């Protein structure tokens, strides 16, 4: 039985299939991870950091090979694939560089009594990571990087369409010097994942994926009293209130929409523009997205490759058709050839329509006109999601005022593509809970043990 396969979305070719793990081998993997946790606690944080640093180095050494894999698996344009590998290496390097500081004791100022008190951070044990297909290396790095330096051991279930990159990451961990069990790739079924979460040896689970997947995993984790971190969907607003260079702002807007072929949870998806700039913004945005080169993801210069799968294309096609049927205006796009979906612009999306509250996972932009700042913030917040957001304005005070008013886990002011290994990533509302990356990402799956000394 298999559900894991590399199916090239650009050609439809099934490149290779992989067998699902047997129940006996799954139990052996959990046992090995549990035993490896004893090993990880027996070495210093500096030694764990050295292993993670080697993981970063191997990503750099194998960057072209790794990039080629995910171009083949999910259609990411090769330049973006190389960028993802580089960013993943940066994340591992960040945690290696900062491991000692992130895990150092934290003194507590006592209000009464003699002596002292401190917080000492230590590992929890075996963790399960459930990762999506859209950033096959980056998503793993931001989960595995901090937890390996902490001393947790990892069971990693990747998306069914990313078995080759999943295997490549597991090989890197072994080649870096981690023993068997410290990081284990699982080609597991959904039923088997329920078993893993329920196992007493597993202490927590982190999922990046859809709302539906998040709700299902959270339910199982809650039933088994397991810590859970969820990074789910997003319908991020891109607010334009003023600009000194509309062409530059439009360029940033288009880049924020089409990154990863429009398949990023924190991509800008709803463009909310002050009414005096609305028409010129719409005209320039439409022209710019029509100018993006759609084509072979293996070729340099391709701006839009294929969507990740036939299913993804069918879903997006249905969403756009339903949006138009419910009153939206299709300004451009809305067409596909195979899994190649054209850059698309929708206007007149009304609050009563499905599209107003849905996430579009592909190069589809909704553009709205608002009369003032208050209306922009209200529209930005009128969504079930709360992951990221973007604010463009020439007024610094307005920028911070709007940032304070937006219900989201992240706000970027006058820039896009500015994620960093040191910057916490995560959202609120139906976009999930918990944080990854930076210091906050390293504080999710730790025992913050209080020690009081008399």
Residues annotated as part of the active site: 231, 265
Residue 417's region, left for phi above 0, alpha for psi from -120 to 50, else beta, is left
Q: Cβ neighbours of residue 146 under 8 Å, at least 6 residues apart?
A: 95, 102, 436, 441, 442, 444, 445
Start-to-end CA distance of the chain, whole Å, equals: 60
Strands 432-433 and 227-231: antiparallel
- The closest of 130, 166, 152, 126 to 52, measured between CA atoms, is 152
Which residues face 364 on adjacent strands? 344
Matching residue, tokens 């929708």? 346
Q: In what order do the strands lie in the sheet with 116-123?
A: 106-108, 116-123, 446-453
Q: How many CB atoms lie within 10 A of CB 97?
A: 16
- The closest of 359, 449, 323, 287 to 134, measured between CA atoms, is 359
**3-state SS of 18-70?**
ECCCCHHHHHHHHHHHHHHHHHHHHCCHHHHHHHHHHHHHHHHHCHHHHHHHH
Q: Measured between alpha carbons, how far is residue 248 from residues 155, 269, 368, 378, 390 in Å? A: 43, 18, 19, 25, 14
Q: At what angle do helices 373-381 and 396-405 cross, to 10 degrees?
A: 30
Phi/psi of residue 17, nearest 5 degrees: -115, 160
CA 293/CA 104 separation, integer angstroms: 49
């Amino acid at each position: 039985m298999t559900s894991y396969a590399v199916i090239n979305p650009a050609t439809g070719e099934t490149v290779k299939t992989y067998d699902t793990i047997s129940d006996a081998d799954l139990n052996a993997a959990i046992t090995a991870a549990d035993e490896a946790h004893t090993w990880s606690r027996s070495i210093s944080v500096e030694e764990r950091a050295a292993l993670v640093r080697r993981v970063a180095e191997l990503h750099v050494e194998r960057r072209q090979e790794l990039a080629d894999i995910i171009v083949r698996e999910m259609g990411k344009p090769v330049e973006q694939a190389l960028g993802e590998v580089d960013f993943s290496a940066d994340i591992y390097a960040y945690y290696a560089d900062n491991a000692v500081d992130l895990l150092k004791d934290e003194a507590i100022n006592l209000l009464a009594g003699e002596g002292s008190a401190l917080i000492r951070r230590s590992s929890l044990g075996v963790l399960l990571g459930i990762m999506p297909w859209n950033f096959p290396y980056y998503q793993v790095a931001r989960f595995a990087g901090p937890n390996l330096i902490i001393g947790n051991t990892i069971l990693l279930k990747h998306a069914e369409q990313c078995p080759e990159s999943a295997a490549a990451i597991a090989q890197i961990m072994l080649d870096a010097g981690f023993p068997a069990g410290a990081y284990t790739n699982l080609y597991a079924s959904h039923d088997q994942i329920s078993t893993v979460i329920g196992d007493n040896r597993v202490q927590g689970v982190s999922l990046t994926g859809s709302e539906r997947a998040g709700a299902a995993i959270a339910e199982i984790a809650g039933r088994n009293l397991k810590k859970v971190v969820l990074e789910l969907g997003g319908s991020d607003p891109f607010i334009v209130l003023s600009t000194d260079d509309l062409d530059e702002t439009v360029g940033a807007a288009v880049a924020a929409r089409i990154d990863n072929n429009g398949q990023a949870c924190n991509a800008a998806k709803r463009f909310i523009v002050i009414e005096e700039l609305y028409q010129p913004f719409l005209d320039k945005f439409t022209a710019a997205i029509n100018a993006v080169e759609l084509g072979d993801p293996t070729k340099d210069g391709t701006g839009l490759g294929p969507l990740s799968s036939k299913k993804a294309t069918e879903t997006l096609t249905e969403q756009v058709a339903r949006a138009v049927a419910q009153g939206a205006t299709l300004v451009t796009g809305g067409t596909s050839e195979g899994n190649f979906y054209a850059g698309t612009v929708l206007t007149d999306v009304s609050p009563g329509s499905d599209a107003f509250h849905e996430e579009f996972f592909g190069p589809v932009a909704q553009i709205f006109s608002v009369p003032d700042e208050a209306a922009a913030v209200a529209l930005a917040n009128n969504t079930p999601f709360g992951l990221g957001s973007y604010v463009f304005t020439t007024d610094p005070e307005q920028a911070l005022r709007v940032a304070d008013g937006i219900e989201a886990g992240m706000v970027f002011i006058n820039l896009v593509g500015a994620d960093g290994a040191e910057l916490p990533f995560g959202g609120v509302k139906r976009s999930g809970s918990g944080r990854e990356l930076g210091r906050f990402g390293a504080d999710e799956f730790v025992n913050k043990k209080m020690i009081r000394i008399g």
